[in-house]
Amino acid sequence: MAGVALSAAALTALTLALNQGADWGWGATATVVLLVAGVALFVVFGVVERRTGDPVIDFSFFRRRNFLGSTIVIFALDFSFGALLFFLPLYFQEILGDSPVKVGVLLLPLTATMVVGSPLGGRIAAHVGPRPPIAVGLALMAVSVFVISTLDLDTGYAQLWWPSALMGFGVGLALTPMNLAAMNAVSRDHAGAASGVLVTLSGLGATLGVAVTGAIFNELFAQRTVSLSGDAGVTVSRGQAQELDGLLAGTSGAQRTLRDIAGDRAAEVHEAVREAFVSALGTALKLSAALIVVALVLALVLLRRSTPADADVTEPVPAPGHPRPAPRVLSGGAA
């Protein structure tokens, strides 16, 4: 129970600080206190977990290369996937002017290719081990996120559907081998605990993907709005820039702010806000692509083709006159 309480408190503090840091200010007392508290709580959580007889997380799992590599992959995968699924619909709605229903339809290629890639990744892993499909999947993800990050105000759906589909295929291709590698790295007795770690890191990756990428986006958006509005001859403060973010969603408060600060130059400032949105989004997604590349390198270093942890690799000698049983193909790819 102590581990549950500490982990929940640490994640709450960290996520709240990342979500609100752009509004409160990164040097604000509340932001700093929450970040320090989050880190301190994680440290205490680690100490408590290593000393209790019934830990929430068994840290010995991370001494196994395939489990450690898989946790890195699942965190990076969900980090980038969560960020993309948060921001891409915003681009479709706020820049291209699509309805929410239409956006859901436009994202179908991403879902369809993920459905295709998931079983394919499992079949490939059964023959050659988990590392090749995971590496290819992460490489496809990095390429697709980078391509999407190059968007500008003239980028339409025709330029975005295929990297979105590529992203879905890469996620599907890496996901099943990653799960196989992680679960084969621990004995069946610890499968539930290992699965819990993976699910937790998956959720944490998606949460931090939105929070961290969102924090970077908000900071860059405010800076770019101030800069581009200044180029148009209108002085905009950082606080006003944050209020103008609502222009793209058509909020009445943002429109009032625009009229108050821009007057007859409202059209130029509105265009500056659109440009700032696209510029900030592109930079934030490039950082997400860089994280995928780091995860790809670590996966190549850590992951190995191996038998399940509790597999009986020593076959008994058959009795005279009885044939030796055929080798059993394991999910890790070894016979």
Distance in angstroms (rounded) separating the CA atoms of residues 40 and 60: 22
Residues 248 and 139 in one domain: yes
Residue 331 has pLDDT above 50, yes or no: no
CB atoms within 10 A of CB 330: 16
Residues 179 and 250 in one domain: yes
**Is 320 a domain residue?**
no
* Cα distance from N-terminal residue to C-terminal residue, the chain: 41
Q: What is the pLDDT of residue 152?
A: 92
Q: What is the pLDDT of residue 53?
A: 82
Q: Which residue has the higher pLDDT, 195 or 146?
A: 146
- Element spanning 8, H or E: helix 2-24
List b or e across 234-255, with b for residues whose CB sees 16 or more CB atoms inside 10 angstroms. Answer: bebeeebbbbbbbbbeeeeebe
What CATH number does the domain containing 120 carry? Answer: 1.20.1250.20
Residues 107 and 50 in one domain: no
17-75 pLDDT tens trace: 887 887 787 788 999 999 999 999 999 999 998 888 888 888 888 888 889 999 999 99
Q: Which residue has the higher pLDDT, 258 or 72?
A: 72
Listed ranges 74-78, 179-183, 189-193; the one with the highest mean pLDDT: 74-78
What sign results for the dihedral spanned by CA atoms 218, 219, 224, 227?
positive
**Is 323 a domain residue?**
no
Residues 168 and 211 in one domain: yes
Residues 51 and 112 in one domain: no
Residues 99 and 128 in one domain: yes
Torsion of CA 286, 220, 30, 252, to 10 degrees: -120
109-168 pLDDT tens trace: 999 999 999 999 989 998 888 999 999 999 999 999 999 999 999 999 999 999 999 999
CB atoms within 10 A of CB 205: 24
Residues 23 and 70 in one domain: no
Q: What is the pLDDT of residue 310?
A: 66
Choose one of 56, 74, 98: the last residue of a domain. 56
**Is 326 a domain residue?**
no
Residue 332 has pLDDT above 50, yes or no: no
Domain count, the chain: 2
**Is 315 a domain residue?**
no
Residues 68 and 50 in one domain: no
Asked whether the beta carbons of 144 and 191 are under 8 A apart, the reply is no
Q: What is the pLDDT of residue 15?
A: 84
Residues 109 and 193 in one domain: yes
Distance in angstroms (rounded) separating the CA atoms of residues 62 and 185: 10
Burial class from Cβ neighbours inside 10 Å (0-12, 13-18, 19+) for residue 314 reads exposed
Range of the domain at 15: 1-56
Residues 262 and 293 in one domain: yes
Residues 258 and 289 in one domain: yes
Which residues lie below 8 Å from residue 253, measured CB to CB, with a gap of 6+? Answer: 243, 246
Asked whether the beta carbons of 159 and 151 are under 8 A apart, the reply is yes
90-99 pLDDT tens trace: 999 999 999 9
Residues 173 and 234 in one domain: yes
Asked whether the beta carbons of 161 and 49 are under 8 A apart, the reply is no
Distance in angstroms (rounded) separating the CA atoms of residues 30 and 48: 26
**Is 310 a domain residue?**
no
224-234 pLDDT tens trace: 999 998 888 88
**Is 312 a domain residue?**
no
